[in-house]
Amino acid sequence: MVHDVVLAEQQSASVFRDPAFLRLWTGTTASGIATWALPFVLGLAVLERSITPVELGVVLAARTVGFLAAVPVAGVLADRHDRRRVVLWAGLVAGAAAPVIALGVGRSVVVMAAAAAVVGAGQGACRPAFQALTAEVVAEDQRQQANAALTLAVRVTTLVAPGLTALLAVVVDTPALLIATGALWLVAALVPPPGASRGPVASGTGAHFAADFVDGVREARRHPWFLAGLGALTAVIATGYSATGVVLPLVSRDRYGTEAVLAAALTAYTVGALAGAVLVARWKPRAQGWAAFAGLACYGFAPLSLLLPVPAAAVVAAYVLAGVGIELFNVPWFTATQREVDPRMLARVSSLDFLLSYGLAPVGLAVIAPAISHFGPEPVLAACALVCFAAPAAAALVPSSREFRAAR
């Protein structure tokens, strides 16, 4: 057991000894920080009264539209062409659009929204290309550690960046911070390494483009564990994530009489995700798929804690569990996708993952709020907790889900 832990630690450390992975990690981290920073910085603009809350909603909605429109397109392009080049152009486009958002602050919400849609498109184009590029840069036996390192960087950013950004806002204005996000996108564009050569890649336009995406869907259907996992993840995000996002502030205010519970729970989720990423970098259970689904089901404790009259500490603990669990799912899920999917179609399959799991989150938020107004929070939270527990359990029943690997 001790030997296994030491070996895992050596493998995890060796990932960063590879200059190519270090460049990839730097680029993906920069894109993650830039993605996180935009809504936070625009929130500061609302506090400064540079923009209104309604304008903030319009700009962020435009970014989401750009993201969703670009993800399937980028999936096809990253499979047709060099994935490093797709990352390059996506980062350059987002980097060029970020200063335009800064130009529109306090002047034109139309300009801000249009530029945000372009930034969202760059973000959406990066995601499947980075996912496929990771499989080209990192050897198969190191990908779980690599994926854990990538997600760890995102979680650390989420934990420490709000405070750092707030401190920067004291000395520089909001437009300057928005321009800084553009600089981060340039890092994401220019730093990542080239991927492995894949040989000739078929290309086409028009109808062939749609056919290429359909081919990606067919590839996804060849892997029952992938469809089961994607269905479970989408269900958890669309229900549990959306419900807690709407209800947590209300419960913090009305049940506990303080916003501190809201802040503590969100921080606890990030800390839990950090712990989960560290754990999964070193732990490879035999039934990896079942362990991942058990982790995903832990998100059900978040809406359950908001439903039951428990102490505030129990809510915080539930969010720690949810954070740990989501990374126990995410890292093996990404690793298995990179291992099992045909490399020629990896970006398209990854784009399907991001399109459904992330794309339905806004739909969940749009549905949850009216449902709470009509039925009350208790029935909605109970239903969401049930879905969070049941969907991963149902996905685990698919035979190939045990190992995230189809029988050979």
* CATH fourth-level superfamily of 218-401: MFS general substrate transporter like domains (1.20.1250.20)
Nearest CA-CA partner of 31 in 115, 153, 169: 153
* Alpha helix stretches (DSSP H) within 138-259: 143-171, 174-190, 207-221, 224-236, 242-254
Count CB atoms within 10 A of the CB of residue 7: 11
Give the separation between CA 262 and CA 253, rounded to whole angstroms: 8
- Mean pLDDT value across the chain: 86
Give the separation between CA 326 and CA 8, rounded to whole angstroms: 21
Give the separation between CA 48 and CA 73, rounded to whole angstroms: 37
Q: What is the pLDDT along the chain (408 residues), one digit of tens a residue?
A: 334 333 444 444 567 788 999 999 999 999 988 888 888 888 888 877 788 888 888 898 899 899 999 999 999 999 988 899 999 999 999 999 999 999 988 888 899 999 999 999 999 999 999 999 999 999 888 899 999 998 888 888 777 777 777 777 777 788 888 999 999 999 999 999 987 665 545 555 555 778 888 898 899 999 999 999 999 999 998 888 888 888 888 888 888 888 888 888 988 998 999 999 999 888 888 888 999 999 999 999 999 999 988 999 999 999 999 999 999 999 999 999 999 999 999 999 999 888 888 777 777 777 887 888 888 888 999 999 999 999 999 999 998 999 898 755
pTM of the model: 0.86
